[in-house]
Amino acid sequence: MNTPNAPTVHDDALSDDELLRLETQLCFPVTVAARLLVQEYRHVLSPMGLTHPQYLVMLALWQHDHDEGASESPLTATELSVILSMETATLTGLVRRLEAQGLVTREPDPRDDRRRRLLLTPEGRTLRAQAKLVPRRMLERLRLAPEQVEQVRDAATLLVAALRT
């Protein structure tokens, strides 16, 4: 899907100046979309007391919560940083704030006491029920059809995979 009147980068006839036009750049709409999307999430997540990065951490922990039927053992901070593609230092601050909110705890990993496992508290598990409403609320705010959201997500996933190789 091209922006109206935007030349495509694949057009060999484009001059260097045309290649440097804002509307030919991939980074510009992706950056603006990411910023605006997080802003929309902020409206939905603030009643839950979560920021968007904290929400991502909680999603991963809910998905790997052994008490909720996950087959895996609880995640370590290192495992979580890989899943979320976040620097460990950034993640540490997020986990500390979630711990201060009473949503998670850190405990030594029985396999290696140098590592810490991240466990949901009862309050953290309870918050999952509220979070189940977030995807629907976001669909309402975005005013996109579920198929369109899926297309955007698939395109973003493709972009992430290309950037990781």
Q: Place 123 in a pLDDT band, splitting at 50, 70 and 90.
A: very high
Residue 141 within a domain: no
Residue 30 within a domain: no
Residue 123 within a domain: yes
Q: What is the pLDDT of residue 5?
A: 57
* pTM to 2 decimal places: 0.85
Residue 152: closest CA among 45, 22, 34, 9: 34
The whole-angstrom separation of Cα 20 and Cα 125 is: 48
**Does 162 score more than 60 pLDDT?**
yes
Residue 117's SS3 state is: strand
State the residue range of the domain holding 56.
Answer: 49-127
The whole-angstrom separation of Cα 159 and Cα 144 is: 20
**Does 163 score more than 90 pLDDT?**
yes
Per-residue pLDDT tens over the stretch 30-39: 999 999 999 9
Q: What is the pLDDT of residue 3?
A: 54
